[in-house]
Amino acid sequence: MNDKSIHIAIIPDGNRRWAKRRGLKPWEGHIAGAERIEEISREALRNGIKNLTFWGSSKDNLQKRPLEEKRELLIIYEKYFKKLITDPDVYKNKTGINIIGDWKKQFPRSLKNILIKGVEKTKSHTHNFLNFMLAYNGDDDVLHAVKKIKEKLLKEKRDFKITPGLFKKYLLSNKLPPVDLIIRTGTENDPHNSAGFLMWQTQNSQYHFSGKLFPDFGPKEFRKIVEEFKRKQRRLGK
């Protein structure tokens, strides 16, 4: 497999548990997690990974967490993305930034402006892509496509063939290629996907479940998992 075609998605679970075990506030775990995201992103670039996707938050995360934790999490997002969109390496390496999910409805104006600026400033970058799923649920992704196709049908007042290509076009995640490898951290005898994470793109994905909480999951382990994945021969149902 060509390294540059690989798409890796990471479900970074365990920030809150990591903080709790250390007697820290939940958002201190999110701060540590943001640091790991930066380190892993650089490691992925060194390994020639074309697409790296992080699930930053589900809509449920934002709606159900205590108000103080949600407020602190949004502050962390603002600080992290300010740093990201001014990072010289993003422009040197032609890294495109994509933000996917219901974040425009969920986030405050100041944070939305930062995210929009980052996407706009890097929209011509195609060497590699850094994708963030924010306020994202997989069922919303699929329902968005269904609603858009229904709108198209009512507007055009004609029947048309619904193909996989047409359906993908209307997904919130339509820019993302199929995911080759999903890494989920923080599993405790409960390996699983959740909230329908990227249902369309994960039909043939391989999974790696790590018991390490995300703040303890660093570039070294990430590199080891990627190297192991590259050695495998994927059957893809054959």
C-beta of residue 103 within 8 angstroms of C-beta of residue 67: no
- Structure token pair of residue 84: 């990201």
Closest CA to 6 of 191, 232, 224, 177: 177
Can 61 be counted among the known catalytic residues?
A: yes
Catalytic residue among 15, 61, 98, 128: 61
Can 189 be counted among the known catalytic residues?
A: no
Separation of alpha carbons 236 and 32, rounded Å: 36
Catalytic residue among 13, 102, 141, 180: 13
C-beta of residue 121 within 8 angstroms of C-beta of residue 98: no
Can you tell me whether residue 69 is helix, strand or coil? helix
Beta bridge partners of 181: 8, 206
**Cβ neighbours around 211 below 10 Å, total:** 13
Instruction: Give the CB-side neighbour count of residue 38, counting CA atoms within 13 A.
Output: 17
> Which strand (E) or helix (H) includes residue 133?
strand 128-133
Positions marked catalytic: 13, 61
